[in-house]
Amino acid sequence: MIKRFFPVLLAFVLAFLDAAVAEETAIDYLALVNKLNPLPEGWEEALDIVSVTNSLGDEVKVERTAYEAYLQLKAALEGEDVHIDLDSAYRSVAEQEDIVVRFTAKYGEDYVRQYVAVPGYSEHHTGLALDLYLNIDGEDVYLNEDMVQYPEIWAKIHAALADYGFILRYLEGKEEITGYSYEPWHIRYVGPDAAKEIAERGITLEEYLINYDTFMTDLVKSYEEGTGTARIEADAAILNDDVAPAIVECWKKIYLDPEYKLNVYGTDDPAELDLYGVHAFVVLGFQLKDGEMTEELMGRCDAAAAAAKAFPDSILVCSGGATGDNNPEGHTEAGLMKDYLVEQCGIEADRIFIDEAAMTTAENAINTFRILREQGIETITIVTSSYHQRSGQTLYNSMAARYQKEYG
């Protein structure tokens, strides 16, 4: 009898997707906040806000770097006899609630659905979204219905945005992607490099940011947060291939179909596993307690070790970063798993490969495939606990689908 043998699930081998590594800053200037993505936690506490007064006498709050870039943009436009000012930028959730009430009374519910964000999901909460108004012949033009009467002026403004790190946030013809109708006055600071690429490609921030890495993360978040399929269907539309919609359908079956049978093996005899090809056992980590492995993680290792001994030509891949609140020495799940497999289970160290960076299940899946490809693995068995099966199978099946498309 094998101690603490946990269920495992079988998936196909996929390609590794290089995860983008963003430069660490106080805030992420590429943060995506829209109808499907709320303001990140802790954002407001990290903001460096400045307050200014516009020509109407209204106070406007804006993130400092974005404001400095705006001043450069404003000065450059004045050289072309184009005059702008800030109508609004940073708004708290309470302020957004007030705007919803006022705009509903003034423009109606249909207008608000198209143009005004739900509180908590407004890009204005970032402090990086700026609404502009015009000054023409010394007169302030700030009502939406009046500002749209000057397309030539907006064209000049839009042409200058990227040089100062701004993009036109809601493009005409991209309403299905952004969730909002065209707004010539709504610009967003993303930084010069990203702004220039977005402008050159004629795409939205969503299209710039959404890739298969973010798609996989959203697959898990959509289930954990109970938000349904809206976010992942939007991602699939942006990815615009024949694989992403198939992945969404797979997600629906695994998570929503009560009749769906997970591909799970729960047995004390690893030899019963129907394995083929060059094989790897991938052990998913579990949060450490006081910097050490829990019984649950040891159980996953015991299961993987027993299976690896039954298939001596296989390798083991352990995935998991430095987790847990009290972990002063920075122990990683993967590092501790390798030590346990070698010292307690008698597995040869050269059969064990580790990913010590993954902090989520999506990162487990993404990161392990660098190792799997390097080792020429053809099939894998995921070793995890029973409650983890659905997310694991969703992610690994998703990567399998993309691998098949890219590599055949």
Q: HEC states along 33-51? A: CECCECCCCCHHHHCCEEE
State pTM to two decimals. Answer: 0.69
pLDDT of residue 1: 30
How large is the average pLDDT for residues 389-394? 80
| β-sheet bridge partners, residue 189 | 166
Evaluate if residue 5 carries a pLDDT over 90: no
pLDDT of residue 265: 60
Count of residues making up the chain: 408
More confident residue, 263 or 380: 380
% the chain with pLDDT above 70: 90
- Are 303 and 46 in contact by the 8 Å Cβ rule? The answer is no
Structure tokens at 19: 């995860």
Q: Got the DSSP string for 345-404? A: T---GGGEEEE----SHHHHHHHHHHHHHHTT--EEEEE--GGGHHHHHHHHHHHHHHHH
Helices 212-224 and 361-374 pack at an angle, to 10 degrees, of 140
Q: Which fold has domain 8-19+261-407?
A: Rossmann fold (3.40.50)
pLDDT of residue 18: 29
What would the pLDDT profile of 182-195 be if each residue is shown by its tens digit? Answer: 999 999 999 999 99
Judge: domain 43-209, CATH 3.40.50.2000: no
pLDDT of residue 263: 59
Domain residue ranges of the chain, discontinuous segments joined by +: 8-19+261-407, 43-209, 212-256
pLDDT of residue 9: 34
Evaluate if residue 3 carries a pLDDT over 60: no
List the beta strands (DSSP E) in 186-297. Answer: 186-189, 264-265, 279-284
How large is the average pLDDT for residues 79-87? 97
183 is a catalytic site residue: yes
Band (361; pLDDT cuts 50, 70, 90) = confident
- Are 188 and 128 in contact by the 8 Å Cβ rule? The answer is yes
Band (69; pLDDT cuts 50, 70, 90) = very high
Report the Cα–Cα distance between both ends of the chain, in Å, rounded: 40
Choosing from 44, 63, 78, 183, the catalytic residue is: 183
Evaluate if residue 12 carries a pLDDT over 60: no
Cα(285)–Cα(57) distance, integer angstroms: 56
Evaluate if residue 87 carries a pLDDT over 80: yes
Evaluate if residue 11 carries a pLDDT over 50: no
How large is the average pLDDT for residues 137-159? 96
What would the pLDDT profile of 221-266 be if each residue is shown by its tens digit? Answer: 888 888 788 999 999 999 988 889 988 988 888 888 888 776 556 5
pLDDT of residue 337: 98
Nearest Cα to 310, choosing from 279, 354, 350, 342?
Answer: 279
